[in-house]
Structures are given as structure tokens and as C-alpha cells.
Amino acid sequence: MDFLEELGTLKKQVLIKDSFNIPEHFDNIVISGMGGSGIVGKLFSELYHSKPVICLDDYNVPDFVGENTVFIGISYSGNTEETISCTNQALKKGSHVFIVTSGGELSRMGKERVIIPSGLQPRSAIGYMLMPLLNTFLHLDAGKRDILSGLIEDVDLHHEEASKLGKEIALEKKIPVIYGFSPFRYVAYRWKTQFNENSKLMAVNNYFPELNHNDTMSLRDTYLKDDFFFITFGGSYGKISRRIDATEKVTSTRFFKVTPLGNDDLEKMFYLIHFGDYMSLETAISRGMDPRDVSSIEDLKKLIK
Amino acid sequence: MDFLEELGTLKKQVLIKDSFNIPEHFDNIVISGMGGSGIVGKLFSELYHSKPVICLDDYNVPDFVGENTVFIGISYSGNTEETISCTNQALKKGSHVFIVTSGGELSRMGKERVIIPSGLQPRSAIGYMLMPLLNTFLHLDAGKRDILSGLIEDVDLHHEEASKLGKEIALEKKIPVIYGFSPFRYVAYRWKTQFNENSKLMAVNNYFPELNHNDTMSLRDTYLKDDFFFITFGGSYGKISRRIDATEKVTSTRFFKVTPLGNDDLEKMFYLIHFGDYMSLETAISRGMDPRDVSSIEDLKKLIK
């Protein structure tokens, strides 16, 4: 399957209705995952606020993880060493362990598993991996999943702005700087990682209002500013929108604004994610890079075995 | 007080013995703070793992915050609007509210307050703000505080490597990229923000092993790579050190390694923080920038009032 076909599967991915039988009472949710799998927990943490959600992207679980923890291990391949390490630790501590994977070692671990289709790049399976969490904790129903699917299909059919932006970044040889804000902080991070993996390009992410306390101070006087292309999200977000406008004015910086379609945060999140997919794909194509190639990451995994 | 004098106060700051009377039982710790004050909660979250620690750098507290939450509001000025907003919300939800500030509105809020000396740049008061948390939750004693103070004084007396590095970055007109790892992820972030505020320079931070799942893919083929100066921390850190070496090899990238002095994570953390203070100061001086000037941030605050 080529990369464009992979992107075309997202509209089907969000229709899966799998969910977990979580315990009635628990203290916290701990989600372990790396890279294109780990982004799922991070995105979820911005949509669910009823319990503390701690996302792990390292080898170890914190001391507090125990019997009252809902632990979710997410790895598309099922063989990510950091996630296996955390899952083993959570099992030993007696946590309620749930798994999302397409196979590998993780598919034989935990109390309940959602096994998703294999054959995609992990970063292209974001719908398969995110939906079990949304179905479980946000109680998404079939109607809502249909709406998401339709919105994603719209992006498949109309991504001219995304492609134009992706091409412009490559042709002007710019490093993208993506400024997010809640609940789209991790959309900015997703875009950064898609530029990294798909386009083989360095990229930077950050978020309002925190960046107004430090980053902002550099934008007036830094050297090499013209090497960077600043992007943020458009729409009406109260104080944050005022901060975005003020940052542009005070630092004489132009931010390209991508305004999501969608009627709520979740819909806008998926719109922006898929926008970023097409944008980074076009940057890859314009640079003559294969968006599927992740040989550096594979070479590294071999070297640290 | 000039900026160099401010840096010289850190060795005294870490001697303060203030702490909070926290309840015997609580479910989670929520710390609200922005920028040079917010870094304190982030650094603490890497040293304390007995309960979930959630750091907020935005306007709102999550739904789960309640009577079993230990809430700590940290703002050097005491007038940071995001922190005041979160503190008000935590008070309404019946949390145990503790405050660290030098004055302002926050000094009249909460159940218990540590009032620290005013007159410094917030980012230079990191010791005053961090110690109450360490004293309370890690039970630091006078002996340990003396050791930290001595180590910091050593950096005051011998920061030639830091200054050389800071100067080199400025003279070669590079954008610093700082790659941290636990428990020094937020040291990397601190360095980034110090380059922003002190040196008026864009900077980038990231962390192992997560960056091996995305960033790594860009380092072989990105354009403009020579604009960046890559820094990480030296020493023996098992799998992480192997990952650092492998990343350099696979991507043909040289990382400058700063190896901390100190006998444990906390000591190394303070060493590295202070190293970054002197490094970013020298970058500022070499660029002819006033390290104390934060006029962009002040201009922005006025504009969004």
C-alpha cells in the first residue's frame, strides 16, 4: 500500500467500535506508548479530564502505579521495547492492564486487548489506536463515529490548502514551527513528528500560553528567523486567540493560521491531524523523499539491540 | 542587581528550609505555574513519583481536581493571570491550596504560603521556588541543602566550559537543540527557555528515547542542519547512553555533551541548571543582548490586558 492509500484508510479506522471493560472505580489512567503510537495517549489526555492521565514515553512506570491504576499499553507493532517494559511493570504492580496493538509481544499481554489490523505505518494507524480510548472513556457512539469519518473523508477529497502549504515549506526550505494550544497541543506535536518521519525534516512544536513566557522573548531579536515558518491554528479561542494576535504584533512575526472544520474539539482535532498528514506528505514529495521510509529509526533499533 | 549578581544568589536560595504542612492522605499533586515559575513544578515532577504530579501551564484546572488534591500555585510575581485563574478554581473545588510567591495577588490566596524574597528575575529565583517542594516531599535536610549550595558555588567559580559553549553558539550563529532525558528532560527545557529569555535566541528542546521515534528520522536528510548546534548530557545512563551514541552514529550528527557533577539526580539537576544559566548569559553577552530585558513579554502582557 503506498502512503497516499494509507492516509485514505483513516476514514474507515474511526468507525471501529472496540472498547475496554474498565473497572467502575480507579484512581488514575497511565498510558504507555512511543512515537506514532504514543501520540494517541497524548491526544486523549487533552480530551478527558475526569481522572489524572499520565502518558509515559520511556522505560519505567512511576511508583504510584498500582491496583487502582488503569494502564493502557499502546504499540502498533507490539514490539516496542519501552512499552513492553512499562507493561511488564504495570502487570507486576497489579494494575488493570489493557492493550492496543496489531500483534507482537504485546498481543499476548494484559487483561483485555484490542487487536487492530496490521500492515500500515504506525503513524498511519492513529484512528485504529485512538478509537478504543475514545469509545471507552468518552462513550462515542456510532453516530459520532460516522460524523468523524465523513469529516476525514472531506479532507481526503479537499486538502488543497494542506498540500500547498506543505509544498511551500519545502520549496522555500523552511523549518516548520508549529504553535498549538489546548486541546490541540499534541496536534502540533503530531505535525512536528509527521514532518520528521514523512518529510525527513526537522520541525519544532510549542504551545500557548506557555510560549508567551519564554519563546516570545526570542522572536524579536533571534538570528536565522527567516529559516523558520510559523504555523498556528485559526478560529475563536478567547484569550488564546488574543495572545496569538498580540504575539504576532509584538514580535513582528507572521503566523500562518490553519482553521479546522468541525463542530467540537474532537472533530477539529481529527481535521487538523489529517490536514497535517497531507501537508507533510506534500513536503516529502516536493523534497523527493519517500514518506514511508523510516530506515534511520530501524538502523538505530538494530544498533541498540 | 545585575544578572551576574542574580546568578550568584542561587547558592543562598537553596538553603531555605521552608516547607508545607501537607495532609497525610491525598490522591494527586497539581502544580500551576508559567515560564520561569512553572519550570519548578516540571523539574519536581521528575524527582517525585509517589503520587501523580500534574503540571498546569494554562488557565484551567482539570475536572478531577478536588478535595483530595494538593494544589500548589507558583508565581514569582504573584500576579500571573494563568496561575491566579487555576488557584481560584482549585480553591472553589476544595483542594488543599499552597502558594509559593514573592508577593502580588497570590500572596493573599491559599491555605499556606511560602513568601520568598522579591527583586530578582523570576527565572533567577528557581532555588527559592523549588526548595519548598523538595523540603516538603523529598524531606531534604540541612546537610543536603549545604551540599547543593556548595555544588552551585563550584559552578559560580568554575563555569569556563559553560561560557565557552555559550560564546561558541553565538559566534557561530547556531540555534541550540538540547536533547534531555529523564530525570533531566526539564533541564533541557530550562536551557531552551534561558536561551530565549537571556540570549534572545530561538532554541529547541526534546528528549530521549521518544525523539528516537521521530526526530531521528529527520537528522539524516533535513536541510539547514548546519544552522543547529546539538547538545545533550554526558555520563552513564544505561540504555539512554547507548541510544545517544547510536543516534550520533546513524544520523552522522555530533552532540556536544555536558557531563554534570554531583552524586545523585538532584545534585546533577542543579549543576546542569546553573551551567545553563552561565551558558545562556555568555550567549547574551556575545550577541550584545541585555540578559535582564524581557520587554517583548511585558509588551505582550500589556496588549492582552
- Residue positions of A annotated with a catalytic role: 197, 213, 301
Query: In this predicted structure, what is the pLDDT of residue A96?
Result: 98
A22 by Cβ neighbours in 10 Å (0-12 / 13-18 / 19+) ranks as middle
What DSSP state is assigned to residue A153? H
**What does the alpha-carbon distance between residue A86 and residue A78 come to, in Å, rounded to a whole number?**
13
Secondary structure (3-state) at A261: coil
Chain B environment of A197 (Cβ under 8 Å): 214, 217-218
Q: Which of B202, B246, B297 sits opposite A222 (nearest CB)?
A: B202
Kindly state the cell numbers that stand for B15: 538553603
Chain A environment of B34 (Cβ under 8 Å): 209-210, 213
B305 by Cβ neighbours in 10 Å (0-12 / 13-18 / 19+) ranks as exposed
pLDDT digits (tens, 9 = 90+) for B157-182: 999 999 999 999 999 999 999 999 99
Peptide bond into A183 cis (omega under 30): yes
Its ipTM equals 0.97
**What does the alpha-carbon distance between residue A129 and residue A16 come to, in Å, rounded to a whole number?**
10
pLDDT at B140 over 90: yes
**What does the alpha-carbon distance between residue B27 and residue A96 come to, in Å, rounded to a whole number?**
18
pLDDT digits (tens, 9 = 90+) for B215-237: 999 999 999 999 999 999 999 99
Kindly state the cell numbers that stand for B224: 539547514
Q: Which of A50, A175, A200 sits opposite B221 (nearest CB)?
A: A200
**What does the alpha-carbon distance between residue B174 and residue A58 come to, in Å, rounded to a whole number?**
29
Q: Which CATH class is domain B158-286?
A: alpha beta
**What does the alpha-carbon distance between residue A51 and residue A33 come to, in Å, rounded to a whole number?**
19
Query: In this predicted structure, what is the pLDDT of residue A146?
Result: 98
In a mutational test of the A interface, the residue from B53, B89, B195, B213 whose CB has the highest number of chain A CBs within 10 Å is B213
Q: Does the beta-carbon distance from B289 to A221 stay under 8 Å?
A: yes
Q: Does the beta-carbon distance from A214 to B225 stay under 8 Å?
A: no
Read off φ and ψ for residue A113, nearest 5 degrees. Answer: -135, 140
pLDDT at A305 over 90: no
The dihedral through the CA atoms of B182, B187, B193, B199 has a sign that is: negative
pLDDT bucket at B92, cuts 50 / 70 / 90: very high
Q: Which of B28, B201, B251 sits opposite A218 (nearest CB)?
A: B201
A139 by Cβ neighbours in 10 Å (0-12 / 13-18 / 19+) ranks as exposed
For chain B, say whether A54 makes contact (Cβ under 8 Å): yes
Q: Does the beta-carbon distance from A300 to B192 stay under 8 Å?
A: no
pLDDT at B127 over 90: yes
Q: Does the beta-carbon distance from B213 to A52 stay under 8 Å?
A: no
pLDDT bucket at A281, cuts 50 / 70 / 90: very high
User: Residue B178: enclosing H or E segment and its boundaries?
Assistant: strand B175-180
Q: Does the beta-carbon distance from A304 to B242 stay under 8 Å?
A: yes
A282, A162 Cβ separation under 8 angstroms: yes
B254, B172 Cβ separation under 8 angstroms: no
Secondary structure (3-state) at A64: coil
**Among the listed residues A275, A284, A282, A281, the one whose alpha carbon sits nearest the alpha carbon of residue A159:** A275
Counting one residue from chain A and one from chain B, the pairs whose CB atoms sit within 8 A come to: 190
Kindly state the cell numbers that stand for A39: 501520540
pLDDT bucket at B1, cuts 50 / 70 / 90: confident
Q: Does the beta-carbon distance from A197 to B220 stay under 8 Å?
A: no
* Per-window interface: A 166-195 vs B, CB < 8 A: 173, 175, 181-182, 192-193, 195
- At position A58, the amino acid (one-letter code) is D
Please give the mean pLDDT across all residues of chain A: 97
Query: In this predicted structure, what is the pLDDT of residue A150?
Result: 98
Query: In this predicted structure, what is the pLDDT of residue A176?
Result: 98
Q: Does the beta-carbon distance from A224 to B221 stay under 8 Å?
A: no
Secondary structure (3-state) at B2: coil
Query: In this predicted structure, what is the pLDDT of residue B151?
Result: 98
* Per-window interface: B 2-41 vs A, CB < 8 A: 27-28, 34-36, 38
pLDDT at A1 over 90: no
pLDDT digits (tens, 9 = 90+) for B56-89: 999 999 999 999 999 999 999 999 999 999 999 9
pLDDT at A238 over 90: yes
| Helix count and strand count (H, E) for chain B | 12, 9
Residue B234: CB atoms within 10 A of its CB come to 13
Taking residues A244-255, report their average pLDDT. 96
- The CATH code that applies to domain A3-141 is 3.40.50.10490
> The whole model's pTM is what?
0.98
| B10 Rama class: left (phi>0) / alpha (psi -120 to 50) / beta | alpha
Q: Which residue of B has its CA nearest to A39?
A: B210
A39, A193 Cβ separation under 8 angstroms: yes
B301 is catalytic: yes
**Among the listed residues B297, B22, B9, the one whose alpha carbon sits nearest the alpha carbon of residue B125:** B9
Chain A environment of B249 (Cβ under 8 Å): 303
Q: Which CATH class is domain A158-287?
A: alpha beta
**Among the listed residues A106, A111, A84, A107, the one whose alpha carbon sits nearest the alpha carbon of residue A95:** A111
Chain A environment of B237 (Cβ under 8 Å): none
Chain B environment of A212 (Cβ under 8 Å): 297, 300
Chain A environment of B216 (Cβ under 8 Å): 196, 296-297, 300
Q: Give yes or no on whether B3-141 and B158-286 have one common fold.
A: yes
pLDDT at B136 over 90: yes
- At position B246, the amino acid (one-letter code) is A
For chain A, say whether B209 makes contact (Cβ under 8 Å): yes
Query: In this predicted structure, what is the pLDDT of residue B258?
Result: 98
pLDDT bucket at A197, cuts 50 / 70 / 90: very high
B267, B151 Cβ separation under 8 angstroms: yes
pLDDT at B131 over 90: yes
For chain A, say whether B249 makes contact (Cβ under 8 Å): yes
pLDDT bucket at B32, cuts 50 / 70 / 90: very high
Chain A environment of B199 (Cβ under 8 Å): 218
Read off φ and ψ for residue B164, nearest 5 degrees. Answer: -60, -45
Shortest Cα–Cα distance, B14 to chain A (Å): 24
**What does the alpha-carbon distance between residue B148 and residue A68 come to, in Å, rounded to a whole number?**
36
Taking the domains of chain A in order of start, what are their residue ranges?
Answer: 3-141, 158-287
Shortest Cα–Cα distance, A234 to chain B (Å): 18
Give residue B113's Cα distance to chain centre: 21
A61, A30 Cβ separation under 8 angstroms: yes
Q: Which residue of A has its CA nearest to B208?
A: A58
Q: Does the beta-carbon distance from A192 to B200 stay under 8 Å?
A: no
pLDDT digits (tens, 9 = 90+) for A10-49: 999 999 999 999 999 999 999 999 999 999 999 999 999 9
Kindly state the cell numbers that stand for B119: 527583586
pLDDT digits (tens, 9 = 90+) for B237-288: 999 999 999 999 999 999 999 999 999 999 999 999 999 999 999 999 999 9
**What does the alpha-carbon distance between residue B164 and residue B182 come to, in Å, rounded to a whole number?**
26
Q: Does the beta-carbon distance from A214 to B220 stay under 8 Å?
A: no
B174 is catalytic: no
